[in-house]
Structure 1
Amino acid sequence: MVADRDPYLIISSDCHAGPPTERYRPYLESRFHRDFDEFLAGRDRRREEMTRLGIRNEAFADRWFHDHEEGLRGGWDSARRLKELDGDGVAAEVVFPDADAVDSRTAAPFGVGLGLSGDHDPALGMAGARAHNRWLADFVSACPERHCGVALLPVTAPVDQVVAEIHRARESGLRALMIPAMWGAREPYHDRRYDPVWAAAAACGMPVLTHSGAAPREEYGDHLGIYVSEVTWWPARPLWFLLWSGVLERHPGLRFGIAESGCWWLPNLLWFMDRLYLGAHGGKKLSPFRELSRPPHEYLDRQVFVCATNTKRRELAQRYEIGVDNILWGSDFPHPEGTWPDTRGWLRRTFHDIPVTETRRMLGLAAAEVFGFDPAALAPLARRIGPTPADLGQPADQSAVEASWARSRETGRHWLTGHDFPVLGATR
């Protein structure tokens, strides 16, 4: 089997943008300016606290900004951003808030970016979200075919305001929504009060996502290892609230995604949930799952996706359990834990033995379908900047590559196919 050797159309499902925080002022309603000044005044104190807790490494921060000063301007400078995306071979991107993940110099007003949670003051939370959404709409309008802006949505605010912001964001050109990973003391996502929100998102064709960032840091003290062990669990948690409560059943047009939380946790979770629903011995004492008309894996394949930033070899080895089309690669530009500025080298090290057809899906085509990108419009750019299969070390003759994955592909979700659980290949 000879592979298609055209360059890849690469779409990063997880990138970040936001101006230096003080530049949000023109986008913020004037009645919140005094609160905004107080928020700005607390930046040094918050940075000192981050350093004390070990969340901020001062030596690393100094080196990071010194070595990447020009490229980091791509966090808010559209022309510079396109140059950096081109250098990485990325044709298009999904844009979340908070370009600076080291010093929080580009934090959305009142900390409602990646730290968005139900604990925010409802009025300030919505005001900060609207300010970011207005700025982001302006930012992505410079090159809308390459950018999908993700609107911040403090979904725990009054429902009429939330629904109005969905429609306003869509009309402004934004195409996806980010909700809090944590709802604090407010109603959890199985509550029927949110049904108008899910319905509006589905009607507008806007995927709803959570993103790693928020976590109960006050519980961890100085023990940063606790935080990093749990931080990807919080954005994943809404998945089982939406699934078991019937939200995905009632709103079949709703798409839900989890960003920058890996996908290593999903195969075992899916296996466990399917077994419960399908009547495994351990679940027989439980009440019937009346809200569902089908097993969990069917909702996953129909409505759920994972923006698996910096996807690992171990996760790729599990892709037939997760679902190849459910894995959307992301670069995390311009965060230091991502692949920028060495995305091309990272892709070669990670995808060199993955079939070309599957690589095309995970690196771009699946994201195009979820977020509404036009592959035909992006094709000329992809031909100019995209790495080829050869650049990724993938052989022209795919026969051996396909054969090496044949057993894993055939086994798939072993609890459904009846095949023995496969022994995973080499991972890292």
Structure 2
Amino acid sequence: MTHEPYLIISADTHAGLPTERYREYLDAARHAEFDEFLARQAAIADARKQLGLQNEEFAGAWFEEHEEELRAGWDAARRDHELDEDGVAGEVIFPDADAVAGGTAAPFGAGLGMVGADYEPELALAGARAHNRWLAGLCQDSPARRRGVIVAPIVGDVPGAVAEIRRAHADGLLGGIMIPSMWGEGEKPYHDHAYDPVWAVCQELGLPVHTHSGAAPRHELGTHLGLYVTEVVWWSARPLWFLLWTGVFERFPGLRFGVTESGAWWVGNLLWQMDVAFDREHGTRKLASFGAHMKRRPSEYFDAHCFIGMSTPKRRELSHRYEIGVGNLLWGNDFPHPEGTWPHTRDWLAHAFADVPVDETRAMLGLTAAGVYGFDAAGLQPLARRIGPTPQDLGQDKADTSIWNQARESGRHWLTGPDVPAVVGAARRAR
């Protein structure tokens, strides 16, 4: 086991054209509006610089150092080269390759920050369609190693989004859909039955639904970037409990939902909080009709339907993997964003996974993603054997993995440990 290279599938990469080059993928009727959008984007970029929201020294050094490599955001051959260097055999592709200056934003805001102050459903759908058309072409190059995520702005135009999901899937985008993390003031939240056609088509086509970190109510946060980095994960995670608590997974038993690039540090505590609430512990016994739409404990729905595209996990997050569920965690390198592990992924892996058991590492680095996204793991093995690091490369052949025995045995300690209150046990037996 220590000599067999890892099959690594990044569940979080990004691709996108330089924004002005999306014109040829837009419907001609949108070209005038696209010119206005480009002008607004330029004004926003200038304003960010004036307000000091972008570290100009960092941006200059980043683009100068990686000028050629960053072409991999839209150039397929360069992309394969960079993935090979990183040891990544397969990838799940989200939009917006440039996370520094925003130079590859999908048209009309149809990217990671969907449903901002200027969100217009009709234009967002047109921009999403342009990006999806282009991404399908990128995925046709090295199709065995790519799963493109369909941008699906479902807020405000469910029928249009469903039609685009079907069209883009038929065009070869097999990586699921990305929906807005926020639905905006006055719009229906995701537990509303109005979205059932979206969940139905994704269940039918076997497409996972994702949110991805990026959106937040920026108009409320001003220039206080600490507020943004503190809240952005919450907005990305929020749809998870809207689906889980309200019976969506009962109505659509084949639906899968993932939260991508929002870390994993919050997941164990969330499952603990939801489970003990569902079991009617002291704080929720007074509430009527609690969990009325649910037949199982929240963590059971989570295991059956949900996953976390944790990306670039820290050692602290990996130490919580038994509470979250090893099989619910998917690694990503966030390529080519500077906050990711590229182009130093091998070093990052050696640090983060050094004492993690090999079988668990194989699951989190690729095998779970292969199952979620339908990669041909056997077909990717020759590539993985050529480019992938081995457990020995990560120092795992010398690791003492017994340090994890107690955490593994405890698992979700609120369900298994001696600190489970009697009232919870009684509630569990009653169910």
TM norm structure 1 = 0.95
Instruction: Please tell me whether the aligned partners of residues 88 and 344 of structure 1 are also in contact (alpha carbons under 8 angstroms).
Output: yes
How far apart, CA to CA, are the structure 1 residues paired with 2:204 and 2:116? 24
Residue 46 of structure 1 and its aligned partner are, at CA, apart by 1.1
How far apart, CA to CA, are the structure 1 residues paired with 2:298 and 2:52? 39
% of aligned pairs identical?
Answer: 60
Correspondence for 1:141: 140
Residue 44 of structure 1 and its aligned partner are, at CA, apart by 2.4
Q: 1:201 to 1:8 in 2, by over 3 A?
A: same
Residue 350 of structure 1 and its aligned partner are, at CA, apart by 0.6
Correspondence for 1:182: 182
Correspondence for 1:205: 206
SS at match of 1:320: helix
5+ residue gaps, structure 2? 421-431
Instruction: Please tell me whether the aligned partners of residues 2 and 390 of structure 2 are also in contact (alpha carbons under 8 angstroms).
Output: no
CA offsets 1:276-323 (integer angstroms, 9 cap, x no match): 111111111112311000000111111100100111101100000000
Correspondence for 2:364: 362
Total equivalences in the alignment: 416
Bigger shift: residues 54-63 or 16-25? 54-63
Residue 77 of structure 1 and its aligned partner are, at CA, apart by 0.3
Q: 1:53 to 1:269 in 2, by over 3 A?
A: farther
2:224 equivalent to 1:223: yes
How far apart, CA to CA, are the structure 1 residues paired with 2:169 and 2:179? 15
Indicate which of 75, 78, 83 corresponds to 1:77.
Answer: 75
Correspondence for 2:378: 376
Bigger shift: residues 218-227 or 115-124? 115-124
How far apart, CA to CA, are the structure 2 residues paired with 1:315 and 1:291? 31
Superposed, 1:317-356 pairs within 5 Å as 317-356=319-358
CA offsets 1:240-260 (integer angstroms, 9 cap, x no match): 100111111211111000011
Residue 156 of structure 1 and its aligned partner are, at CA, apart by 1.2
In the alignment, residue 364 of structure 1 is paired with which amino acid?
Answer: G
TM norm structure 2 = 0.94
Bigger shift: residues 115-124 or 75-84? 115-124
Superposed, 1:88-127 pairs within 5 Å as 88-117=86-115, 120-127=119-126
Bigger shift: residues 254-263 or 282-291? 282-291
Instruction: Please tell me whether the aligned partners of residues 7 and 384 of structure 2 are also in contact (alpha carbons under 8 angstroms).
Output: yes
Instruction: Please tell me whether the aligned partners of residues 118 and 183 of structure 1 are also in contact (alpha carbons under 8 angstroms).
Output: no
Residue 53 of structure 1 and its aligned partner are, at CA, apart by 4.2
Superposed, 1:13-412 pairs within 5 Å as 13-117=11-115, 120-175=119-174, 176-185=176-185, 186-288=187-289, 289-395=291-397, 400-401=400-401, 403-412=402-411
How far apart, CA to CA, are the structure 2 residues paired with 1:248 and 1:274? 16
Instruction: Please tell me whether the aligned partners of residues 10 and 332 of structure 2 are also in contact (alpha carbons under 8 angstroms).
Output: yes
Q: 1:217 to 1:138 in 2, by over 3 A?
A: same
5+ residue gaps, structure 1? 422-428
Instruction: Please tell me whether the aligned partners of residues 2 and 397 of structure 2 are also in contact (alpha carbons under 8 angstroms).
Output: no
How far apart, CA to CA, are the structure 2 residues paired with 1:352 and 1:365? 18
Instruction: Please tell me whether the aligned partners of residues 148 and 173 of structure 2 are also in contact (alpha carbons under 8 angstroms).
Output: yes
Divergent runs of 4+, >3 A: 52-55
How far apart, CA to CA, are the structure 2 residues paired with 1:406 and 1:349? 20
In the alignment, residue 408 of structure 1 is paired with which amino acid?
Answer: A
In the alignment, residue 295 of structure 1 is paired with which amino acid?
Answer: R
How far apart, CA to CA, are the structure 2 residues paired with 1:87 and 1:286? 55
Q: 1:347 to 1:419 in 2, by over 3 A?
A: farther
Residue 165 of structure 1 and its aligned partner are, at CA, apart by 1.1
CA offsets 1:380-423 (integer angstroms, 9 cap, x no match): 00000000001111016x7x31x2111000000001112469xx
Correspondence for 2:427: none
Residue 4 of structure 1 and its aligned partner are, at CA, apart by 4.6
* RMSD between aligned residues: 1.3
Correspondence for 2:424: none
Residue 51 of structure 1 and its aligned partner are, at CA, apart by 2.5
How far apart, CA to CA, are the structure 2 residues paired with 1:159 and 1:316? 37
SS at match of 2:143: coil
Residue 187 of structure 1 and its aligned partner are, at CA, apart by 0.3
How far apart, CA to CA, are the structure 2 residues paired with 1:157 and 1:42? 22
